[in-house]
Structure 1
């Protein structure tokens, strides 16, 4: 039955969760936005930053008001004053940095994707379980108020039987961008495609079949991939990601009873969506400020809540979802012939 109104987002009070002492490994673009969001919207404490360059770590610490700066992850991880570590290093460092943090006894929030492949992700999950520590993928969209409302609509069956999911994520990058660098696990799958496949897995579970085709660029990196995923419930996910062009970055979940369209700047970011009934023309709109990375704080607040509850996995983004996403990405990469240097 089509709802009379949209459900309310089940957001946590940022100041009602434990105030963790955070260290950041990797002072890059996303780390800066993560740090700003925590400082502005939460009671979380940023106490340390680590980089392979002491000068770069010190510059980041000075800019962001972080008291300690280290020239290596190993130095940061020896500090007894750190409860949790946010790993924002390049994709091919997520796994070794995650292992290092867990072995040091730290709860760990790892930027998406959790690892390069499902095998590595399983290794992180097994170590976290053995250590009794929280390990969570920073798939930030899953923790947004918008996504919680969409999750509730799906759980309530507001769309009826699901048949089709359409989503694209394309951005134009110049050839000198690190996303074209094979030494950094380049290509669209880790950066852009993980949102697409993660979204389809969230909506309908792991795919039971995958058909993919890709287009390579000089240097051994994939530049564009199109995918058709079939899920247990019969839903088809039709997905495209490209590094060659800007695309709408929109998504549609089409059910028997209603269709949910996510527009705005990007389907995975703060912004609007519309739910339209299949019959009768009923429409419900959701909108919010399109403040994008300001809302990175939601994942950190949820992470702190999990730590306070003694959880070693997030109920919103369990490691099984991260592993299923990477397993699907593994199969896509197998079909398009994309092998990372670390896998050779």
Structure 2
């Protein structure tokens, strides 16, 4: 396929605007991708977004967007609990799919999508593609080369999805149709809660670096039973305070936290400790020798150049461009649905472990990057 990929943006909320529309409307990508259509069920929102960002057509319904012959692929910028059904519909319509995190909420749903897409010849890219960041590949290389010695334990986590962040985003505090997006779904079943929203980044990082986990146990619950947004109360349905413990084999354990307070790591990066050294965030600290910063200045994922480097959610843009390359050139991506499914397995099994008090065996795996590809 040599022509531009027609992208359909599904949802004109925070991630649809910040992650898709702002990036894909930039002049430097118009030779490869164009904004063919957008849909949103809130009256006036898709139309306003289309006018602001130069989208060719707008629709109220997803079905109308899928019927548009100029839409080659979709980016699902919708609540996570809708992703499975919307993914099925896209596959049936023959549209390639970029799933914003998380691809689904259950392993069986992810497996069904993978199998159906393969049978239909539909490509899937499932965010977040954290191993596209060069510093994460350097960390994995250090581990595979034995520079950390025998691995002992690791920790990663965040408080971003449990606190006030989603209530205070710029797309939720305004008065017009594009800046008054309801955040309620973040706190509701089945796709809300910080595990699917932000811990997914930490889990893609640590499994991308260490490889697939084997077992998970967890403690989890609701710490803040209700939130307040624009004069109304949102009841919290999904756990907002969860700590996972992952078994990677060989007595290597990782703690992954999604809590309402108390972040002790930097961003979504893990701290990894071994007998010969450690990686703390993006700094390699050998037992003997000089510390080394693994994140180099002005270094970004492969498609993030020019103005995109100054914009938020450039990792979402990068993942979408991975799909564009896959469609146009048949270029394989390391951002795989199988990796996303393994992370979903950890989250789903973690909730089950917390509920039952029993450690859960993980049912899935994926192929981590080999040394030759780093």
TM class, shorter-length: 0.7 to 0.9
For structure 1, which segment, 166-175 or 41-50, has the greater mean C-alpha deviation from structure 2 after superposition? 166-175
Per the alignment, do residues 221 and 183 of structure 1 end up closer, same or farther by CA in structure 2, a change over 3 Å counting? closer
Cα drift, residue 103 of structure 1: 0.7
Residue 336 of structure 1: aligned partner: 354
Residue 313 of structure 2: aligned partner: 293
Per the alignment, do residues 19 and 163 of structure 1 end up closer, same or farther by CA in structure 2, a change over 3 Å counting? farther
Cα drift, residue 195 of structure 1: 1.7
1:164 and 2:148 matched: no
Deviation string for 1:128-168 (max 9, x for gaps)?
01101101212143333443444444455543443322111
Size of the aligned set, in residue pairs, is 310
**Counterparts of 1:322 and 1:28, CA distance in 2:** 23
1:317 to 329, 335, 353: 335
Structural mapping, 1:156-195, within 5 Å: 156-171=145-160, 172-173=163-164, 177-178=183-184, 181-183=187-189, 185-195=191-201
Residue 251 of structure 1: aligned partner: 270
**Counterparts of 1:180 and 1:53, CA distance in 2:** 18
2:25 to 6, 31, 39: 39
Cα drift, residue 183 of structure 1: 4.5
Residue 222 of structure 1: aligned partner: 239
Contact 2:220 2:354 survives alignment (8 Å)? yes
Residue 208 of structure 1: aligned partner: 214
**Counterparts of 2:186 and 2:295, CA distance in 1:** 36
**Counterparts of 2:165 and 2:35, CA distance in 1:** 33
**Counterparts of 1:151 and 1:303, CA distance in 2:** 24
Per the alignment, do residues 288 and 54 of structure 1 end up closer, same or farther by CA in structure 2, a change over 3 Å counting? farther
1:279 and 2:288 matched: yes
Per the alignment, do residues 183 and 295 of structure 1 end up closer, same or farther by CA in structure 2, a change over 3 Å counting? closer
**Counterparts of 1:18 and 1:149, CA distance in 2:** 35
**Counterparts of 1:66 and 1:146, CA distance in 2:** 35
Cα drift, residue 233 of structure 1: 4.6
Root mean square deviation, CA, Å:
2.7
TM-score, scaled relative to structure 1: 0.81
**Counterparts of 1:59 and 1:175, CA distance in 2:** 22
TM-score, scaled relative to structure 2: 0.75
Structure 2: where are the runs of 5+ without partners? 168-182, 226-235, 299-308, 357-374
Contact 1:54 1:70 survives alignment (8 Å)? no
Contact 2:24 2:317 survives alignment (8 Å)? yes
Deviation string for 1:201-260 (max 9, x for gaps)?
212233222120012253432110011111135421111102456665352122343322
**Counterparts of 2:38 and 2:63, CA distance in 1:** 11
For structure 1, which segment, 240-249 or 314-323, has the greater mean C-alpha deviation from structure 2 after superposition? 240-249
**Counterparts of 1:244 and 1:174, CA distance in 2:** 12
**Counterparts of 1:150 and 1:84, CA distance in 2:** 33
Structure 1: where are the runs of 5+ without partners? 1-16, 263-272, 339-344
**Counterparts of 2:221 and 2:193, CA distance in 1:** 10
